[in-house]
Amino acid sequence: MGAGKNKPIRRSEHIVTLSRDHHAGLLFCWKIREGLKKEIPLFKILKYMNFFWEEHLKAHFREEEALLFSRLDDPLSRQGKTEHLMLEERLRHLNHYENKSASEFMSFADLLTRHIRFEERTLFPHLENTLPESVLAPIGKYLAEQHREPFVESYPDEFWSKNYVWS
């Protein structure tokens, strides 16, 4: 194992709020996978996915795009936007396609996990190194004002929990 491989990524104070949101996104993916492992009916998992999208993920994507990805027209920023569109389209597909399969839900969770890792390991460091302090500082101020309280999920049907029994 290479030196520093498991070192935590140090995030700019200006965009650390978005990194904290990523933790909620990874937990969301874990909950989808737990539901699939427990063979929770797909409609229940989809209902949760739609809740998380409306309550958190959609706004998070829009903030990243408006505040960061639009600042540079380069391959990494375009990849971030493209992956957002792919995830949104996959969720739309799950909502409108009759014959859904567990593998499609797993694929969504896997894609979102890879996307979050890409942003944390590649795109955010690139933006932090490329965008000047004069751009990052106002972004940080805006995020601090908009996110005075961390996101707390309040979904009532915790199908992912250890003692949950679906009947």
Name the phi and psi angles at 158, rounded to 5: -85, 65
pLDDT for position 29 = 98
Residue 113, amino acid = T
| Mean pLDDT of all residues belonging to the chain | 91
pLDDT for position 52 = 98
CA 114 to chain centre: 10
pLDDT in tens, 33-80: 999 999 999 999 999 999 999 999 999 999 999 999 999 999 999 999
pLDDT for position 4 = 47
pLDDT in tens, 75-96: 999 999 999 999 999 999 999 9
pLDDT for position 43 = 96
pLDDT band at 10 (very low <50, low <70, confident <90, very high): low
Mean pLDDT of 137-161: 92
> Torsion angle of alpha carbons 46, 106, 35, 23, nearest 10°?
-90
Look at the alpha carbons of 159, 85, 59, 18 in this order and tell me if their dihedral is positive or negative: positive
| 157 in Cβ contact with 40 (< 8 Å) | no
Whether residue 8 is predicted with pLDDT greater than 70 in this model: the reply is: no
Question: What distance, in Å, lies between the first and last C-alpha atoms of the chain?
Answer: 45
